[in-house]
Amino acid sequence: MRTWGRLLAWAGLMAVLGLLPLLVGWSNLSDPLAIHWGIGGSPDNAWPKNAAALLPISMVAIGLFTTSLFRIESKPTAEAFAMVGLMGGLGFSLMVSLVYLNWDAPTWQEAGAFTWWQLVAVLATGALGAWIGYVLGIRRYPRPETSESVAGPELELGDGETVSWIGGCSVKWPLVLLGGLALVFFLMPGWWKLLGLAFVVLGFLFLWVYVVINSHGLQVRLGGGVPVKRIPLDRIKTVQAIDLEPSQWSGWGYRVVPGGSAVVLRRGDAIQVNMTNDRRFAVTVDDAATGAALLSGLVTRLRSDDSY
């Protein structure tokens, strides 16, 4: 329990923050109060006052459960703090809007209209909450540094021999996920169809990744041969084969995280390159050990050539 104490305290704080607007406005609110607004902005549903108190609490609880408690992990992550911050921020600003619109309304039907700027303010507060949560979390629970100068095994290279490794991996999930989204958008009118097309292209890109390692360094191409990354040998410090966990790179696809980037098509075998500028890059490939060993060998050969 002690390990999770800080995250729970952060969640508790966010829940209390979400309750504050309701407590402040309690005597000025009608019972029941308007809780939901229709597309036109006028209230279309009401809840008893004390049930409204459950809203911020349950939002924070959802944030807590989706990121941490359902996952078997030994420690909380910065993402969990960010998620709780996001839900807490959304909950707080929703409650502020709720109290503001219901303030002194004789009945819930006479509550004020929900406007676009309020929606923007709610989303912005959510983003702010997520950011604060992330900053709090990353300080206490920095990302596991599997990398630094832990170099993997090296492949022996003969003099004058050119050795290349061609690898990659392919997956099916973009077909299902993005194809489904594309279908939804194709059913929509007008310009939304273009968004559908964009999803088809994105889905196609992430069907497979093709990686070449040779004396020029590392090259990564996505589906259709679209080049996305090229790292010359002289910018590489160490290389290792890792067991990539998508949550450590914040998900699937082309990920940019603090201190690095990654092409993530699936969980598991991947090559991680630690660069001389202290950034890292990872790409999921089958038989990562062979590719990583070759890249290590090539980097070592380049360095020993330089030292003559």
Partner 1 sequence: MLIRLDPRSDKPIYRQISDAVATSIEDGTIDPGERLPSARSLGDALDVNMHTVLRAYSQLEEWGLAEMRRGRGGVVVSSGANLKGMAKQLVGQARRQRLELGELTRLVEEAWN
Residues with Cβ within 8 Å of 73's Cβ and at least 6 positions away in sequence, in order, are none
Q: Is 257 in the site for partner 1 (CB under 8 A)?
A: no
Interacting residue with partner 1 among 40, 161, 189, 306 (CB under 8 A): 161
Q: Please tell me whether residue 175 binds partner 1 under the rule CB under 8 A.
A: no
Note whether 307 binds partner 1 by CB under 8 A: no
Decide: residue 97, CB within 10 A, 0-12 exposed, 13-18 middle, 19+ buried: buried
Token pair of 124 as six digits? 């912005």
**Cα separation, 271 vs 211, whole angstroms:** 10
Tell me whether residue 71 or residue 216 sits nearer to partner 1 (CB atom).
216
CB of 292 to partner 1, least distance (A): 12
Select from 246, 290, 300, 302 the one that contacts partner 1 (CB under 8 A).
290
User: H or E element: which one contains 288?
Assistant: helix 288-306
Residue 273's alpha-carbon distances to 60, 245, 255, 277, in angstroms, are 37, 15, 15, 11
CB 284 within 8 A of CB 263: yes
Please identify, using beta-carbon distances, which residue of 16 and 163 lies nearer to partner 1.
163
Q: Does residue 146 interact with partner 1 by CB under 8 A?
A: no
3-state secondary structure 100-160: HHHCCCCCHHHCCCCCHHHHHHHHHHHHHHHHHHHHHHHHHCCCCCCCCCCCCCCCCCCCC
Our finding on whether 3 is near partner 1 (CB under 8 A) is no
Pick the binder of partner 1 from 27, 162, 277, 304 (CB under 8 A).
Answer: 162
Does residue 285 interact with partner 1 by CB under 8 A?
no
Q: How far is the CB of 284 from partner 1 (least distance, A)?
A: 16
Single out the residue of 151, 228, 287, 300 in contact with partner 1 (rule: CB under 8 A): 287
How many residues bind partner 1 (CB under 8 A)? The answer is 19
Q: Does 172 bind partner 1 (CB under 8 A)?
A: no
CB 130 within 8 A of CB 170: no
Collect all residues with Cβ–Cβ distance below 8 Å to 190 and sequence separation of at least 6. none
Site for partner 1 in 184-243 (CB under 8 A): 210, 212, 214-215, 219, 225
**Which of 153/259 has CB closer to partner 1?**
153
Smaller CB distance to partner 1: residue 13 or 302? Answer: 302
What's the closest the beta carbon of residue 158 comes to partner 1, in angstroms? 7
Q: Which is nearer to partner 1, 92 or 165 (CB)?
A: 165
Closest CA to 46 of 108, 1, 97, 101: 108
Q: How far is the CB of 234 from partner 1 (least distance, A)?
A: 18
Question: Which 8-state DSSP code applies to residue 285?
Answer: -
Binding site for partner 1 (CB under 8 A): 155, 158, 160-167, 210, 212, 214-215, 219, 225, 287, 290, 294
